[in-house]
Amino acid sequence: MKSGSSLAVAICCAAATTTLAVPVGFSGVVTTIKSLGILTVILENCDYILRAVAGQENLLREMELCFRSLLRITNSTILLFFLVSCFSFTSTDAYDALDPNGNITIKWDVISWTPDGYVAVVTMFNFQQYRHIQAPGWTLGWTWAKKEVIWSMMGGQTTEQGDCSRFKGNIPHCCKKDPTVVDLLPGTPYNQQIANCCKGGVINSWGQDPSNAASSFQLSVGAAGTTNKTVRVPKNFTLKAPGPGYTCGPAKIVKPTKFVTQDGRRVTQAMMTWNVTCTYSQFLAQKTPTCCVSLSSFYNDTIVPCPTCTCGCQNNLTQPGSCVDPNSPYLASVVSDHGKSNSLAPLVQCTSHMCPIRVHWHVKLNYKDYWRVKVTITNFNYRMNYTLWNLVVQHPNFDNLTQIFSFNYKPLTPYQNINDTAMLWGVKFYNDLLMQAGPLGNVQSELLFQKDKSTFTFEKGWAFPRRIYFNGDNCVMPPPDTYPYLPNASLRKNVPMLMLTITLLFLSAFHFA
């Protein structure tokens, strides 16, 4: 079943690619290079579709997209549309092909029963490879099934108490039907802490630092059931991190968690446990891009900048002060003024792309058996020091990465046989903090790849990355037809190949006639 459907998609993609080749090829030598760039992109997206199919999700949607594009392929306008939709579903898809099992699991362990309810420890595990939760941290909400109240909490607090007027004497911590919980801040008194709490809601990702990928709080619930038969699990869990993006499933009662004491000599267990799984979707998050990619190479002087207006446009008339000129004598006062307004919206340096983050990929050197790339991440945001930043980069040569300088590296291989994706992040106490915009606002690294003679080439932009994420957000790449190319080389080499394809097609047409 699985291999059958991926085969179907593979055929569809192959057909789409060859069908596209003909009209594009005929439109003249001038556009040949452009179209070759486009073909590479289609092939890349086929690869993407195949990956998604390997995860067995959104299959129907992708098949439909693929077939629809096949049907309309003769019209070049629609061809463009196909490309655009292929691009947009890489950035808006609910399903992340590079981390197909990524989720945040919320586990409720009922530790003990009380006269009118129970005490529970709630732990969130961030099982995502590279998407972490940054300041100002998570907020977790749910709806009680009955008339439960929260008597007290440790390691977390609800944002609102709600209407507790029906209580006399002991007043609960929260009486709301739909409480919202946030983490406590670092520096909370020890008697209000529990393990894994009080990090201001920041959770690292499983791929980057599993020892800091969990967050817990404890709550004492009243007016609830007091046996595992009468307790009702809460409903409608919502996780904000801090904006939208996560969708949580229903709570499922699972086998009670077993706790091993520190000396490992005794095992205790929860009275009852339920799990909630939340998954991330870029589509739901509906973020404007926050990051873009620029490219350069030793073999061509052109520096391909980030696409203009990637994250916004400079607009002096309607939004004066939407960005900051780094040469302005008032820079310091503008930045500190905005700091006081306590807003989280980025305050960016004025650039043509207006993105808070730019990733630059420079193809630096060519050796006989190796080639070298320099990667620079620049922070243009005056309002953010990125702690725990990470970068996910997809390039077919990552299976032969030989050396990486001053970044940590971990291969991401959700589909065992494809090893083309790397997660990169800073070295602790050296460059794990990406400082706010300014002279210190950048980090850089060099990557040394061994050439695989059968695939390696500087042509057709092969040396540039296929996809880059910064902190889990897709970075916008320049259009492929603007990539720096080898002087004259692509024209000379590829025309015969296209002509061959066209000739073959003609021949087969005559054959059938």
Ligand X SMILES: *[C@@H]1O[C@H](CO)[C@@H](O)[C@H](O)[C@H]1NC(C)=O
- Enumerate binding residues for ligand X (CB under 6 A): 75-77, 101, 103, 105, 107, 125, 127, 141, 143, 178, 228, 236, 238, 253-254, 272, 275, 277, 300, 302, 304, 314, 316, 383-385, 399-401, 411, 413, 419, 435-436, 450, 452, 482-485, 487-488
Cβ–Cβ under 8 Å, residues 211 and 252: no
CA 52: distance to chain centroid? 15
Q: Based on CB atoms, which residue is closest to ligand X, 152 or 240?
A: 240
User: Least distance from C-beta 482 to ligand X, angstroms?
Assistant: 5
- For residue 116, CA distances in Å to 161, 168, 191, 225, 235 come to 19, 16, 24, 7, 20
User: Least distance from C-beta 156 to ligand X, angstroms?
Assistant: 18
Q: Based on CB atoms, which residue is closest to ligand X, 178 or 446?
A: 178
Residue 63: in which H helix or E strand, if any?
Answer: helix 59-71
User: Least distance from C-beta 153 to ligand X, angstroms?
Assistant: 19
Q: Based on CB atoms, which residue is closest to ligand X, 265 or 368?
A: 368
User: Least distance from C-beta 375 to ligand X, angstroms?
Assistant: 16
User: Least distance from C-beta 350 to ligand X, angstroms?
Assistant: 7
Q: Based on CB atoms, which residue is closest to ligand X, 168 or 453?
A: 453
User: Least distance from C-beta 7 to ligand X, angstroms?
Assistant: 24
- Tokens for 176? 């709301």
Q: Based on CB atoms, which residue is closest to ligand X, 269 or 508?
A: 269
User: Least distance from C-beta 330 to ligand X, angstroms?
Assistant: 12
- The sign of the CA dihedral 411, 93, 80, 70 is positive
User: Least distance from C-beta 404 to ligand X, angstroms?
Assistant: 10
Backbone angles phi, psi at 194, to 5 degrees: -135, 175
User: Least distance from C-beta 432 to ligand X, angstroms?
Assistant: 13
Give the three-state DSSP class for 213. Answer: coil
d(CA 369, CA 304): 27
User: Least distance from C-beta 360 to ligand X, angstroms?
Assistant: 15
Q: Based on CB atoms, which residue is closest to ligand X, 64 or 325?
A: 325
Which DSSP symbol is given to 510?
H
Q: Based on CB atoms, which residue is closest to ligand X, 254 or 332?
A: 254
Q: Based on CB atoms, which residue is closest to ligand X, 141 or 426?
A: 141
Cβ–Cβ under 8 Å, residues 256 and 269: yes
Which DSSP symbol is given to 396?
G
- Tokens for 373? 């790339």
Q: Based on CB atoms, which residue is closest to ligand X, 113 or 152?
A: 113
Q: Based on CB atoms, which residue is closest to ligand X, 75 or 508?
A: 75
Backbone angles phi, psi at 70, to 5 degrees: -65, -45
**How would you classify residue 164: left for phi > 0, otherwise alpha for psi between -120 and 50, otherwise beta?**
alpha
User: Least distance from C-beta 74 to ligand X, angstroms?
Assistant: 7
Rounded to 5 degrees, what angle do the CA atoms 17, 401, 365 make?
85
Cβ–Cβ under 8 Å, residues 117 and 145: no
- For residue 502, CA distances in Å to 14, 26, 119, 430, 508 come to 16, 9, 73, 55, 10
474 closest CA partner among 91, 153, 123: 91
Q: Based on CB atoms, which residue is closest to ligand X, 77 or 288?
A: 77
Q: Based on CB atoms, which residue is closest to ligand X, 458 or 469?
A: 458
142 closest CA partner among 279, 234, 219: 234
- For residue 294, CA distances in Å to 103, 304, 496 come to 31, 6, 31
Kindly tell me the number of DSSP H helices and DSSP E strands found in the chain. Answer: 7, 28
Backbone angles phi, psi at 379, to 5 degrees: -95, 120
Strand partners, 260: 267
d(CA 221, CA 231): 11
d(CA 31, CA 24): 8
Cβ–Cβ under 8 Å, residues 155 and 198: yes
Q: Based on CB atoms, which residue is closest to ligand X, 143 or 508?
A: 143
d(CA 345, CA 245): 17
d(CA 330, CA 316): 17
User: Least distance from C-beta 22 to ligand X, angstroms?
Assistant: 13
Backbone angles phi, psi at 66, to 5 degrees: -65, -45
User: Least distance from C-beta 238 to ligand X, angstroms?
Assistant: 5
